[in-house]
Structure 1
Amino acid sequence: MDLLKISDHMNRHPVTFTEEMSVEEAVNKLILAEQLGGPVINKDKKVIGFVSEQDCLARMLSGTYHLQQAASVKDVMRTEVLTVKSYHGIVDLAQTMLLAKPKVYPVVDDDGYLQGVISRSDVLRAIDLELHSHYKAVS
């Protein structure tokens, strides 16, 4: 199972956001992509933040309560982002996911450029496929 690499199970075409994007536009992208969150990237495709459904929901509730609607992704994104590399192992990431809260991790190269994302569901699917392949080999 140590041979399972993130690169083999990541989403190479995730929904992404820019700092200038409105929260409403970000919510629409999340809903259409059925993704829990995604990386905020600059014009060079470097990861500079992360925005989640929870971040957007909190802002929308606050905005509704205070009758404010205009907010940008920059206002709600997290700037401390846990990222992983495509050559890291799935099992190592699974162990990290047990300790850290994010459900979606941006996958970046060694210079911080976005390559994709990997979610908790992707990790579960990868481990499940690997276990099933061993069951078939034993049967």
Structure 2
Amino acid sequence: MRSMKVQDYMNRYPLKFKRTMPIEEAVAMLVSTQQTGGPVVDEQGHVVGFLSEQDCLASMLKDTYHKEQTATVEDCMHAEVLTVNGDMAILDLAQQLGNQKPKLYPVIDYGGSLIGVISRTDVLRAIDLHLKDSYRNR
């Protein structure tokens, strides 16, 4: 199972945001793609934050109360982001996920650039596929 790598099961075309993007544009992207969040990247493609539905909801509630919509992604995102490398073993990530860590991890290359995202569902699918193969080979 150590040969199963994050890069083999990740989403290579994740939703991603820019810091200066208006929050309403980010919300529209989240809603239209039915994703729960995504990494925020700079001009070089490096992960600089993470924006979740929860972050957007908090901002929109505040803006609704004040009847203004002036927030950007940078105003709402989390700047501290846990990332994983594409070469990480699925089993190691599964163990991390059991410790109440994020549900979605940006996947980066060794230069720090975003190459995808991997979710708990992706990890579960990878382990399930491995177990099904093991059962067939018995």
TM-score normalised by length of structure 1: 0.95
Question: Which segments of 5 or more consecutive residues in structure 2 lack a partner in the other structure?
Answer: none
Structure 1 segments of 4+ aligned residues over 4 angstroms from their partners: none
Does 1:80 pair with 2:80? yes
Distance of 1:18 and 1:100 partners within structure 2:
27
Task: Provide the alpha-carbon RMSD of the alignment.
Answer: 1.0
Other structure's SS at 1:118 match: strand
**Take 2:33 and 2:135, find their aligned partners in 1: how far apart are those partners?**
33
Matched residues, number: 138
Q: Tell me the distance in 1 between the aligned counterparts of 2:70 and 2:39.
A: 21
Match of 1:34? 34
For 2:16 and 2:94, how far apart are their aligned partners in 1? Answer: 23
Match of 2:58 in 1: 58
Aligned to 2:129: 129
User: 1:111, 1:76 → 2: CA distance?
Assistant: 26
One-letter amino acid of the structure 2 residue matched with residue 108 of structure 1? I
Relative to the length of structure 2, the TM-score reads 0.96
Q: Give 1:31 deviation, angstroms.
A: 1.6
Structure 1 stretch 122-131 or stretch 98-107: which is displaced more?
98-107
CA displacement at 1:115 relative to structure 2: 0.5
Cα distance in structure 2, aligned partners of 1:41 and 1:88: 21
